[in-house]
């Protein structure tokens, strides 16, 4: 999996503080903005976080993981299309639990993935439309997407997806996104 921060609000913490100044009829110098943004976050005035955003590109996750992300109603999401993108090789995500299963299970797992890849690629070569050939592909297929959220939404998503109870792949993804967002706004993340 690879996460790349594509775009974000410049100086996001100061921007949040500047936008929140209207709520308090307050000064908008840089120092006041930074203090105000931290104060708003600490006191739960999280609506102020809506005035900063970040967009990430996520590559190499499974369709299983992407399905947990595309349900985020407030997010801006663009996902790689299996209908239009032509693949010459299909890549798959294998859960760690499969990698520690008995050898015969691992062999069968790889065999099923290999057959589905072969059927897809052969079907396309035979003239099947990609939109029809894709029906044979398992959810372990990798995909990529761009995901854009404001900071309030990112905090909510990351809070839910970094919990120990979250599915392993989406938890690893959320932890990496949180690490990158912390680099640009440590006061918020």
CB atoms within 10 A of CB 37: 29
Assign residue 25 a region (left: φ > 0; alpha: ψ between -120 and 50; beta: otherwise): left
Question: Is residue 136 exposed (0-12), middle (13-18) or buried (19+ Cβ within 10 Å)?
Answer: middle
Q: Which two tokens stand for residue 52?
A: 């900063």
Q: Which two tokens stand for residue 110?
A: 């790889």
Q: Is 83 a catalytic residue?
A: no
Query: What is the Cα Rg of the chain in Å?
Result: 21
Q: Which two tokens stand for residue 171?
A: 């938890």
- Among 36, 134, 155, 161, which one carries the catalytic annotation? 161
Please state, in angstroms and rounded to a whole number, the distance separating the CA atoms of residues 141 and 40.
Answer: 41
Q: Which residues are marked as active site?
A: 161
């Amino acid at each position: 999996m690879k996460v790349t921060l594509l775009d974000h609000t410049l100086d996001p913490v100061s921007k949040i503080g500047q936008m929140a100044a209207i709520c308090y009829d307050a000064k908008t110098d840089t120092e006041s903005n930074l203090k105000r943004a931290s104060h708003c976050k600490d006191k739960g005035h999280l609506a102020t976080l809506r005035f900063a955003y970040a967009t990430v590109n996520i590559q190499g996750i499974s369709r299983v993981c992407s399905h947990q992300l595309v349900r985020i109603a407030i997010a801006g999401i663009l996902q790689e299309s299996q209908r239009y993108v032509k693949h010459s090789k299909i890549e798959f995500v294998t859960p760690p639990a499969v990698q520690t299963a008995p050898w015969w299970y691992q062999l069968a797992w790889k065999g099923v993935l290999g057959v589905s890849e072969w059927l897809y690629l052969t079907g396309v070569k035979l003239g099947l439309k990609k939109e029809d050939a894709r029906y044979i592909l398992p959810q372990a297929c990798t995909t990529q997407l761009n995901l854009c959220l404001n900071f309030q939404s990112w905090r909510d998503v990351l809070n839910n997806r970094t919990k120990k109870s979250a599915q392993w792949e989406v938890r690893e993804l959320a932890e990496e996104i949180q690490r990158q967002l912390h680099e640009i706004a440590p006061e918020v993340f």
